[in-house]
Structures are given as C-alpha cells and as structure tokens.
Amino acid sequence: MKIGLIGCGNIGKFILQSINKNGILPGSRIDGIFARNLDHAQQVAVEYSTKAYSTVHDLLQSDIDVVIEAANIQAVKAYSTTVLEHGKDLLLISVGALADRAFFDQLKNICQNKGTKIYLPSGAIGGLDVLKAAMSIGELKSVSITTRKPPQALPGAPLDRESVLFEGPASEAIDQFPQNINVSIILSLVGLGTDKTSVKIISDPGVTKNNHCIEAAGSFGKLTLQVENDPMPSNPKTSFLAALSVLSTLKNRNERIQVG
C-alpha cells in the first residue's frame, strides 16, 4: 500500500516513524507528504526517506492508494474533496470537520460517485461497536462523554484548580475545542448526531493522563466505558491511543477477515 500524508507535525512524524522506519506495516510505505511549510516538509522528507510535494494536486498525481490527513480541521475542509475526486481513499484524523453536516454529505456523495472510501479511526476511545449495533435498529436513546485532561492540554484552562470548561452538545464542543474533542464527533457519527451527543470537558490539575468516560443507554441496556490514555510525549493535547488507532485502521484496511 502506497500512502500519501498531509501534515507532518507530531502525529504525522509518529506515523512516518512507525511505517517508514520501523516497518510496522509490511508492504506499506508513505511515498509522499504535503505540508503548508514546504521547507519543513522537505526536511521531514529527508529524515524519513520520502518525497515532499509542493501542492496536494502534485501529491495526488503520484500512484498512492490512500491519503492520511494529519493536520487540522482547516486542512480537511480544504483538501478532502480534491483527494476523493482524484479517486484516492482518505483517512481522517481531524474528524471534527465532519460536524458540518453539509460538508459530511458532500464527501459522502463524492465517495458514492467515485467509489472511494473515508476511514475514521476510533481515536482515543472505545465502545463504538456497541453504539453502531444499537443504532442499526434505531434503539439508542442517549450518549454522553466526559473528558478530563490536565490543564496544559486545554487552551485557557486555569492551572491551579479543577474547572468545567464546557458542558453541552458535541456540535458546540468541537467549535470551542477543535483540537481536544474529536472523539465526540466519532461518537456522534455512529450514534445520535452532534446535537444529541452530550459533552463535558473538565480541566483537572490532579491528572496527568487524558480520561474519557462514555455513557450510553438504549434497548440493549447500558454502557459505561472509562478510558485513561497516556498523552503523546511530544504533544499533551493528543492521546497516544489516537495515534495508534491510525495504524490499526491502516492495518485493517486490507484484512480479509474483519472483526466488528
């Protein structure tokens, strides 16, 4: 599998290290990267033995099979349609962009017309299989997520006390915390939607890890799932599990037997 990468920050470098240097996905390689800062992209390309492209269009003209977005919501909005229209599959990390329903529908229509796919890693959470199963017959009644992180991971959080920074629907949470609560959009997409998925974000100087508590109820019964994630060493805003889920999604892309 030949892979293109948009963005070469902390997660992008982790993916490059894992695939191009550590060989964690045999038979796969990141053949090209694009970033807004071409000089930086060229430096990264040399370090990880790949090629930097000056435009996304040039990247898409190569023989890559799938593109990974590892940048931000703005990059998703700017490049996703182009990637899909060129017949390339797309793996999104900044899934918060899909909170925009019109944009989501636009991408879905392109996929249907071009025969392409969008992959959304589970990120830093679990329990998605339960929600999908419940929604298959429309029997999911409520979904909520409470996220507790150290203040350094949350912009504007007080450093000396616990504080509830947000409480409301996922549709509003992703606007205020676009780098911190992508997990709520994943829950929304497999569940009740962004307006009916409840989110609470807590800054807590007493914790060193990113904590997520997911609660759901429906005809299946009740789900309570607590996940305690170590942050990436290079970026306290991102759970290490979120980066690992990207590799898992790529690995499962061509598996003949898929679970879940």
How many other C-beta atoms can be found within 10 angstroms of the C-beta atom of residue 73?
21
Q: Look at the alpha carbons of 179, 181, 183, 185 in this order and tell me if their dihedral is positive or negative.
A: negative
* Sheet containing strand 197-203, strands side by side: 163-169, 197-203, 140-149, 210-218, 221-229
State both tokens at 149. Answer: 């992180």
Nearest residue to 1 via CA among 33, 26, 37: 26
d(CA 182, CA 199): 11
Asked about 40 being catalytic, the answer comes back as no
- From its phi and psi, is residue 10 left (phi > 0), alpha (psi between -120 and 50) or beta? alpha
The residue annotated as part of the active site, out of 40, 57, 86, 212, is: 212
Residues annotated as catalytic (active site), given as ranges: 212
